[in-house]
Chains A and B, each alone.
Chain A
């Protein structure tokens, strides 16, 4: 069964304290892995798409990496404004309903000043 698991569920960091969020997945084939940021009561904001193992993408303090089984979202020297829930989604291969994304439950990140 296609599955996406994110860990930890919640993470509290001090400003400047770097860390990583994990997204592990089991799907039959991989069309793409997506990272989003969601603020409370708002729509998810697209961050990155990764397509193949070994791929890396960066944006400001965020860096996403991908292996055959998991993805990491590295946060370097976070600031309070990085506080949000980070969502991971995977697009499995196959036809029909397998086209839909499989979503993780997210990691809630709080960065204290």
Chain B
């Protein structure tokens, strides 16, 4: 158990809908990262927050947005969902804002029908 929690574990929705994925980092970690992993694809970095502020951005679509709250939990919002958005979404956390060991949560499996 990494100490990073993600909810929900599974999410099934329809095209065009909007969903919110939630992540709680390890106790004491200030950085949160979001990744997407499609079937047979590598990990795609989406976005990083550190202590409430956006720190780095990857290949995140404009339909996707994220935020980190004062209690350090983070939410990833996915809107106007398409079939191709079906994937595993992982949250990771680390202590520092710069490159540091990242600890991953169990993931949320999103299925868009």
Contacts and interface: CB of A to CB of B under 8 A. Distances in A.
A101 B45 contact: yes
Given A41-B109, A100-B56, A100-B58, A46 B99 contact: no
A45 interface: yes
A103 B57 contact: no
Contact of B2 (A45, A89, A104): A45
Mostly, the B contact residues are loop
Interface in B39-65: 42-43, 45, 48, 55-58
Interface stretch (A12-20, A60-68, A76-84, A91-99): A91-99
Contacts of B100: 32
A59 to B, nearest CB: 14
Contacts of A99: 48, 55-56, 97-99
Contact of B45 (A43, A100, A104): A100
Nearest to A34: B101
Nearest to B47: A100
| Interface size classification for chain B | 20 to 34
Interface of A: 31-32, 34, 36, 41-46, 49, 87, 89, 91-92, 96-97, 99-101, 103-106
Interface of B: 2, 4, 42-43, 45, 48, 55-58, 88, 90, 92, 97-107, 109
A90 B97 CA distance: 16
B99 A32 contact: yes
Contacts of B103: 46
B101 A103 contact: no
A43 B43 contact: no
B93 to A, nearest CB: 11
A44 B56 contact: no
A46 B100 CA distance: 12
Contacts of B2: 43, 45-46
B42 A103 contact: yes
A44 B109 contact: no
B68 to A, nearest CB: 16
Nearest to B96: A99
Nearest to B105: A43
